[in-house]
Structure formats: C-alpha cells, structure tokens
Amino acid sequence: MAPQSLRALAWLSPVYSWQNSKIQTAEAASKAYLVASRETNQSVAQQQFANLQKDYGSTPYAAMAALSSAKLYAEEGKNQEAATALQWVIDNSNEAEYQEVARLRLARVYIDMKKYDDALALTQQEYGAGFESLLEELRGDIYTAQNKVGDARKAYERALLT
C-alpha cells in the first residue's frame, strides 16, 4: 500500500469511529425512548424518561422524553413538574421545533397554574412559520381564563384568519 493510502486510512479511522459512535448513541437513545414510551406504569415511565434525559441529553430523544414526561405529569395534575420538564426542553433541545412545542405546552400549563402573564409572554416569543393560528388560539384561551372576553374574541378571530 502506498504511503498516501496509509495516511488517508489513518485520517479516516477516527472519523469513522466518531460517526459509528454517534450512530450507536442514537440507536441506544431511540431504544430507550421506545421502551419508556411503552411503559404502562407511570412512575416507572417517568424514571425511564429521566434516565434518558440524563444519559442522552444531547439527542432529540431526550427532548421527546421530556415532552412525554411533561404530558404524564400534567395528566396527574402535577403542573410544577410538567413545567420543569417543558422548561428543560426549551433550555436544552437543539431542535427549534421541540422548543416551540414546549413553549406552547408550557403556556397551557401556566394557564392551569393561573400564571397568565407568564403564559402570554411565551406567546410573544419568536416562532417558526405555521404557528400563528395556534398562538392566536392560545392567546384567546389565556384571555378567556382571565375573563377578558373582548380580547379573547379578537384573538380567536385572528386565529381563524391566519
């Protein structure tokens, strides 16, 4: 083998190893998410989601686990825990779409917690295309919870027009 070929192989070996490691991490995170999402015992599922966030925090599966965890907490009426899980997605996810979904869901949790100003502030942040109608509907829900009927009606009308 020519020396140039050996140098190329020596250079490519760490690159291949790094790529292989990333693939293995993604596969393990995917499997962990699948197992946790199929768990019927909520406390066990919550623990598995927490482990996934800890062990694979840089993967999209960690954000998906936090979103799922927040859903379980909200269903149990544990709004503070749901808010914490959603805030984790906002602070740690590398995926803008997951962050946007987490902000929308967090605003809904804040409505349940009667933190209307915090909920409204989340709707004022920047979102990608396609969220306009959802944001207006959410604003309408916030205003309805505050008994601001006129503002709610306007927000719902804007939701229908966008």
Per-residue pLDDT tens digits for 62-98: 999 999 999 999 999 999 999 999 999 999 999 999 9
Look at residue 13 and tell me whether its pLDDT is greater than 70. no
**50 band by pLDDT with thresholds 50, 70 and 90:** confident
Q: Which two tokens stand for residue 3?
A: 């020396």
Q: Which two tokens stand for residue 135?
A: 């944001």
| Pair 67, 101: CB distance under 8 Å | yes
Look at residue 4 and tell me whether its pLDDT is greater than 80. no
User: Per CATH, which fold does 30-109 belong to?
Assistant: 1.25.40
Residue 10: per-residue pLDDT: 56
Q: At what angle do helices 116-123 and 132-145 cross, to 10 degrees?
A: 170
Look at residue 3 and tell me whether its pLDDT is greater than 80. no
Residue 29: per-residue pLDDT: 85
What is the C-alpha separation between 113 and 20, in angstroms, rounded?
Answer: 45
Torsion of CA 8, 9, 10, 13, to 10 degrees: 120
pLDDT tens column, 125-148: 999 999 999 999 999 999 999 999
State percent of the chain over pLDDT 70. 88
Residue 80: per-residue pLDDT: 98
Per domain, the residue ranges of the chain are 30-109
